[in-house]
Chains A and B, each alone.
Chain A
Amino acid sequence: MTIYLELFWSFLQVGMFSIGGGYAAMPLIQSQVVSRHEWLTMSEFTDLITIAEMTPGPIAVNSATFVGIRIAGFPGAVTATFGCILPSCLIVSLLAFIYYRYKKLSALQSVLASLRPAVVALIASAGLSILRTVAFGGEKMALENINWIGLFLFVAAFLLLRKLKWNPILVMSLCGVAGLLINLAVTAL
């Protein structure tokens, strides 16, 4: 029983104190899972982060599931994930209530109107960071490092979305398949 409480409590802290998305959660998860409880070795933790980045879903939820399963099976995974999302459920619900209650106030209107362009900028930055990784494969931004296949896929996908309004998940899946086939074809030649 104590193991479930420990898992719950550890991931509750991860959920409570990670503000600003996945990368903010990483050091917290590491301190709970590797340093404090020794549930994973450092090399297992690195594998976990790699997997979390390669699979859908938030890093915190991915880690809670992975660690929970290894420590206490499927019930462990559920306990850890529940702990990890509980603070969000409480705090964000409260914020939702405040937002919808006071949205009409002119002061809040003004704050929100200034936040919106900032949020657009944050999304743009996230998108361009991914594009940079795609176009230069994580290397320096120089002509010889350009990944032409990635760049081609990006341009094709962008046109399909922008001009032809294709479904985004379809476009993304097609990019995955096309990436595999083009790379295999290039290696075969």
Chain B
Amino acid sequence: MEITASRKNLPKLFFSTLYISAFTFGGGFVIITFMKKKFVDELHWIDEEEMLDLTALAQSSPGAIAVNAAILVGWRVGGFPGMLTAVLGTIIPPMAILSLISFFYTAFATNLYVALVLKGMQAGVAAVILDVVCGLGGNVIKLHKPVYLVIMAAAFAATFFLKINVIYIIIAAAVMGIILEILNRKGGKRS
């Protein structure tokens, strides 16, 4: 088990998840990109391949992707207390913000300045995600295994152009992995 139950990282884990959750607008992949920047690139608590595995798990489990990712990162960094810490850090900002907004929501939703700031932030979010994608995609290319490039291209076409449900894409990629493993074993026996 690589789950490390060290308590000294808990405050840092709490404030990192709180900070990420408070600033990530948009869907689950946005928060995962920010978590990758923080926990992989900055703190080096998790390595890049592991982060991608955790993303696949978070995406294919029921519930909000952000919460699922927090649960996985939390277990990894601090065991059970780590999981609770990361989940709390992730849900406190939206709970606090929505509680405030629920009292004067029409004023907020129709405010021009709020809308303009949020629109500008969207451009920044797109940049952050695509910056991370450049790094991750580059690493897949560096593996020099055409089959992974084909999986990447096929998965992209399936989700971006064909709008196929991501669950099916993940299942298909997993099946592909099983087929590759079987082929590998057969090849191993023959040689």
Contacts and interface: CB of A to CB of B under 8 A. Distances in A.
Interface of A: 15-23, 25, 47, 50-62, 65-66, 69-70, 74, 77-78, 81, 84-85, 87-89, 91-93, 95-96, 99-101, 103, 106-107, 110-131, 133-134, 150-151, 153-154, 157-158, 160-162, 168-169, 171-180, 182-184
Contact of B67 (A17, A61, A171): A61
A69 B156 contact: no
A93 B113 CA distance: 41
Interface string B122-150: 11111111111110110010000000110
Interface of B: 1-3, 19-30, 32-34, 37, 49, 52-68, 71-72, 75-76, 83, 87, 91, 93-95, 97-99, 101-102, 105-106, 108-109, 113-134, 136-137, 140, 148-149, 151-156, 159-160, 165-167, 169-170, 172-174, 176-178, 180-181, 184
Contacts, number: 360
Given A21-B64, A47-B109, A93-B71, A124 B128 contact: no
B27 A47 contact: no
Contacts of B19: 169
Contacts of A70: 102
B94 A19 contact: no
Contacts of A154: 123-124, 126-127
A62 B122 CA distance: 19
Given A95-B57, A179-B121, A118 B33 contact: no
A48 to B, nearest CB: 8
Nearest to B127: A157
Contacts of A78: 95
A122 B166 contact: yes
Contact of B1 (A56, A100, A116): A100
A158 B122 CA distance: 12
A126 B29 contact: yes
B75 to A, nearest CB: 5
Given A57-B94, A116-B52, A110 B184 contact: yes
Question: Which residue, A18, A22, A60, A88, has most C-beta atoms of chain B within 10 A?
Answer: A88
A88 B67 contact: yes
A60 B67 CA distance: 10
A54 B114 contact: yes
Nearest to A114: B177
B25 A56 contact: yes
A47 B177 contact: no
B91 A81 contact: yes
A165 to B, nearest CB: 9
A107 to B, nearest CB: 5
B34 A168 contact: yes
Contact of A61 (B60, B95, B119): B95
Given A74-B99, A126-B27, A121 B131 contact: no
A116 B49 contact: yes
B160 A57 contact: no
Nearest to B91: A61
Given A50-B109, A56-B94, A134-B123, 20 more contacts: A17-B62, A20-B166, A53-B25, A61-B64, A77-B99, A88-B63, A92-B63, A106-B181, A117-B140, A117-B152, A118-B152, A123-B55, A123-B129, A124-B137, A125-B159, A153-B120, A169-B23, A171-B124, A173-B124, A178-B120
